[in-house]
A = this chain, B = another copy of it.
Amino acid sequence: MTEYALGGYMGQILRVNLTTRKMSKEELRPEHARKYIGGSGVGGRILYEEVPPWVGALDPQNLLIFSTGPATGTNVPTAGRHTVVTKSPLTGYFGDASGGGFWGANLKFSGYDVLVFTGRAHKPLMLYVDNGEPKLMSAESYWGMDARESDRAIRKDIGRMDARVATIGQAGEKLVRYAAIMNDEADRTAARCGVGAVMGFMKLKAVGVWGDQKVPVRDEKVAATIYKEVTAHVKTDPDKISFSKNGTPGYLAEAWELGDAPAYNWGRSDFGGPGDPGIEKLAYPGGYEQILTGTRSCYLCPIACRRVSQVNDGKYRTEPNVEGPEYETQAALGPNCGIDNVKALAKLNDLCNLYGIDTISLGGTLAFAMECYEKGLITRQDTAGIELKFGDADAAIEMTHRIASREGFGNILAEGSRRAARTIGKGAEEYAIQVKGMEIAMHDPRAFQGGGPHYACTPTGGRHTEGITMGLERNGRQVLGYPNPMDRFSTQGKGRAAKVIEDWWTAINIMGWCIYAEPAWGYPSEELLLRSYTAITGIPMTLRDAMKAGERVFNLKKAFNVKHGATRAEDTLPKRLLTLPGKSGAVVKLDETLPEYYEARGWDPATSKPTVEKLLELGLGDLSKDIWG
């Protein structure tokens, strides 16, 4: 095989049509690799070009794209990510989900940067990429299995226990609109935007990957040096040691203090009354210690922020040493559902991993339903006897089973809170805390005003991995133009801040790094990340270049949305966040930040469309006609 023009890439895309069972390889166009880099950039460009508005999300003409970045699977650390890109069944617009673990790296070891699925199989299929050789096989025997069982059975059947498997559970099969794609024995996930429902619709149960090919790195020496530097930093810097030690669950107590974690469907500021430790029951250090059994890392990551957990007995019993709840899951299924039982939380988390369900959307949807129940919009008759009250963990667990099987009222909640609200009627839409149909992540924009324009405008809906301003607001960041901390309750400059951090996080993502590369590598990590990118690919990269690449991909997603019918009216937040003060005491003053955000973005304030000038500046001039006619 001749060497690819750029380091970091295997240089190949695999196309799989599940209707015809035809497969083909094609070169990853070097100009696309340079321009869109990887992840949701390279995948997003393919989606943009090949999925027109008349193609629905659950449609054999939709694409399901697994896309890595140039850093993924190299010998620089914290680069174990892959991104799934598709037209989202939850939002109806651009959808992507980022997954960690080892799957993405192993996709590259098997010889591909990107997999593109289309079509719909007559009977369940799976793909196994055996060191470059793709094999499309029947998956009938795995259909109906949960994600962990499916992963194990597949590896046993193909005779490679060290293969990595991305698979859906029953939720994806049943087209639960917020179904996730699980990988690494259902411990890691690309969860958001309903990517698992698209996989289920296509009747693609799983994608196994294995290979022993090396990801080419242009300057091995520099890369090796960086690896050493970062590893040493993680092991000595107190902040990093703490993150290794506490993982994301270590943030819950702090989030609660800040008012960043919501409670009771974003509706109340209390959780755990007098004498009730509330948050502490779930937090780490705290109640979480009852379920914690260890830690794990993703591919070549010195942080190892992942928690291992188990519940040994009783009704919340889990398998030993399963993935523990992350902060997002803690908050979404904990205080936001009024649940303070850490074992029940572990059980709910495990069920989500087995069924293949996005825990954030599940938490948001259950909290919505609980509020509807308590307000009398739905009754026990609707729920077939389940007392769906805040804090009732057993009711939440039972409803989760019904959602995954689409049984009874679960069939309604399986559609997500936006659609469920339309079905319930009676003003239920007010209680659906979602943006563009996606339940928002566990960072309350009432606590950090930069979160307002971010949540409202991120093309993939209420999302935390595309640029949370919290760090910028709390600490400032010289290199990004914010030398000082900001007043988190002021709206001053927050529109621009949201834009800046979105562009930077998008850049990190498309390169294949984990968003935690930043804290791991240490501020200012930018220089080190960009030096790594250059060492890997051989392409010089300045911060300005990286920000521009992030901005380009962000605008590509936005352009997809505009083309598919999204309007300015959808750049908003649930009324509750705009009118009801959160625990921080504030409401989101979106009207104050949105104009600045649009201006910083170069988006027309009347329509929210990227201006022709902005598109031209980003090298996206070819999209102008789609956007402006």
- Chain A residues at the B interface, C-beta cutoff of 8 Å: 17, 19-20, 52-61, 89, 91-93, 119, 122, 382, 406, 411-412, 415, 419, 422-423, 436-437, 563-569, 604, 606-609, 625-626, 628-629
Once the chains are docked, how many angstroms separate the CA of A454 from the CA of B612?
32
Residues in B whose Cβ lies below 8 Å from that of A436: 54
Residues in B whose Cβ lies below 8 Å from that of A411: 19, 122
Task: Other than A61-B415, A119-B423, give 8 A-B pairs with Cβ distance below 8 A.
Answer: A17-B423, A53-B565, A54-B565, A55-B92, A56-B56, A56-B57, A122-B406, A606-B629
Residues in B whose Cβ lies below 8 Å from that of A58: 56, 58-59
Oligomer: number of copies: 2
Closest CB of chain B to A117's CB: distance in Å? 13
Residues in B whose Cβ lies below 8 Å from that of A563: 565
Are A419 and B61 also in contact (CB < 8 A) when A20-B412, A54-B91 are? yes
Are A53 and B17 also in contact (CB < 8 A) when A61-B419, A419-B60 are? no
Residues in B whose Cβ lies below 8 Å from that of A122: 406, 411
Q: Is the CB of B406 within 8 A of A20?
A: no
Once the chains are docked, how many angstroms separate the CA of A607 from the CA of B607?
16
Once the chains are docked, how many angstroms separate the CA of A629 from the CA of B562?
11
Are A564 and B565 also in contact (CB < 8 A) when A19-B411, A53-B92, A411-B122 are? yes
Closest CB of chain B to A369's CB: distance in Å? 14
Residues in B whose Cβ lies below 8 Å from that of A60: 415, 419, 423
- Nearest opposing residue in chain B for A608, CB measure: B629
Q: Is the CB of B437 within 8 A of A54?
A: yes
Closest CB of chain B to A241's CB: distance in Å? 44
| 7 shortest interchain CB distances as A-B pairs | A53-B565, A54-B92, A607-B629, A56-B56, A565-B565, A564-B565, A606-B629
Residues in B whose Cβ lies below 8 Å from that of A19: 411-412, 423
Q: Is the CB of B61 within 8 A of A422?
A: yes
Once the chains are docked, how many angstroms separate the CA of A604 from the CA of B412?
42
- Interchain Cβ contacts under 8 Å between A and B, 15 examples: A19-B412, A19-B423, A20-B423, A52-B92, A54-B91, A54-B93, A54-B437, A55-B92, A56-B56, A56-B89, A119-B423, A567-B625, A567-B626, A604-B629, A608-B629
Residues in B whose Cβ lies below 8 Å from that of A608: 629
Residues in B whose Cβ lies below 8 Å from that of A93: 54
Once the chains are docked, how many angstroms separate the CA of A17 from the CA of B422?
11
Once the chains are docked, how many angstroms separate the CA of A422 from the CA of B118?
11
Closest CB of chain B to A388's CB: distance in Å? 16
Residues in B whose Cβ lies below 8 Å from that of A568: 629
Once the chains are docked, how many angstroms separate the CA of A406 from the CA of B434?
37
- Nearest opposing residue in chain B for A91, CB measure: B54
Residues in B whose Cβ lies below 8 Å from that of A626: 567
Closest CB of chain B to A449's CB: distance in Å? 26
Residues in B whose Cβ lies below 8 Å from that of A92: 52-56
- Nearest opposing residue in chain B for A55, CB measure: B92
Once the chains are docked, how many angstroms separate the CA of A93 from the CA of B628?
19
- Nearest opposing residue in chain B for A50, CB measure: B422
Residues in B whose Cβ lies below 8 Å from that of A17: 423
Closest CB of chain B to A16's CB: distance in Å? 12
Residues in B whose Cβ lies below 8 Å from that of A609: 629
Closest CB of chain B to A360's CB: distance in Å? 19
Once the chains are docked, how many angstroms separate the CA of A629 from the CA of B58?
28
Closest CB of chain B to A518's CB: distance in Å? 32
Once the chains are docked, how many angstroms separate the CA of A569 from the CA of B568?
23
- Nearest opposing residue in chain B for A627, CB measure: B567
Closest CB of chain B to A592's CB: distance in Å? 21
Once the chains are docked, how many angstroms separate the CA of A436 from the CA of B52?
11
Q: Is the CB of A566 within 8 A of B53?
A: yes
Once the chains are docked, how many angstroms separate the CA of A93 from the CA of B566?
15
Once the chains are docked, how many angstroms separate the CA of A89 from the CA of B604?
32
Once the chains are docked, how many angstroms separate the CA of A343 from the CA of B367?
62
Once the chains are docked, how many angstroms separate the CA of A122 from the CA of B567?
33
Closest CB of chain B to A558's CB: distance in Å? 14
